[in-house]
Amino acid sequence: MAHSHLGPRHFLAQIEAHRCHRTNRDIRPDWLNGLIEEAAASFEPLAGVARVGYECQPDEGGWTISIYLGAVELVGGKADGQTTRPGFRCDLKQLLLRFARIDSVEWMCQPSGSATGNVLEQSAIDIRGFVGASPVYLRVRSTAPETIGPGLRQFPDGHVESV
């Protein structure tokens, strides 16, 4: 499986920059950062490049993680201002191998939008289990949450920059 490394490379740079700017409020253990990095590396855009995003928070004694590819905003030309959502594949087997115990794996698919045909299909894989001795709920989303803006900007000449 060929990999586009811009997204994961950028993501890893973000993690490293984040580590340099940590405050005492950052309570994520190293194993959790490792899990997030591996989850990001499991994404492969079907075309072009993409940027991996995530949300992570402690929850009921464990951790809840949501990971996704961000949208790409088109800049310039006829499509100026439009966003596209990259297609991707995700190596779920590699993610599952990180778990010491798996309690459930579920796929949720729900179309949302108007009845006029403007439908955005949202899909997610939910994995519940333990990484080491810690409970983890990992959601691999087909699209970024609606509140998250684009992760990249793409220009007519093909140049891509992070947002």
The pLDDT confidence band at residue 125, using thresholds 50, 70 and 90, is very high
| Buried b / exposed e along 33-47 (16+ C-beta atoms within 10 A) | eebbbebbbbbbbee
How far, in Å, CA of 134 to CA of 130, rounded?
A: 5
**Identity of residue 58:** P
User: Contact 84/72 with Cβ under 8 angstroms?
Assistant: yes
The pLDDT confidence band at residue 135, using thresholds 50, 70 and 90, is very high
pTM: 0.72
How far, in Å, CA of 122 to CA of 127, rounded?
A: 17
- Please enumerate in sequence order all residues whose Cβ is within 8 A of that of 27, keeping only pairs 6 or more positions apart, or say none: 58
CA 44 to chain centre: 11
pLDDT, tens digit, for every residue of 2-60?
Answer: 444 455 556 666 666 666 555 445 678 899 999 999 999 999 988 888 888 999 999 88
Which of the 8 DSSP states describes residue 117?
Answer: S
pLDDT, tens digit, for every residue of 83-93?
Answer: 878 889 999 99
How far, in Å, CA of 148 to CA of 92, rounded?
A: 24
pLDDT of residue 118: 45
Closest by alpha carbon to 6, among 54, 66, 70, 77? 70
pLDDT of residue 16: 64
The ranges assigned to domains in the chain are 6-162
Residue ranges with strand state E in 17-157: 43-45, 52-59, 62-69, 72-74, 83-84, 88-90, 101-113, 119-131, 134-141, 152-154
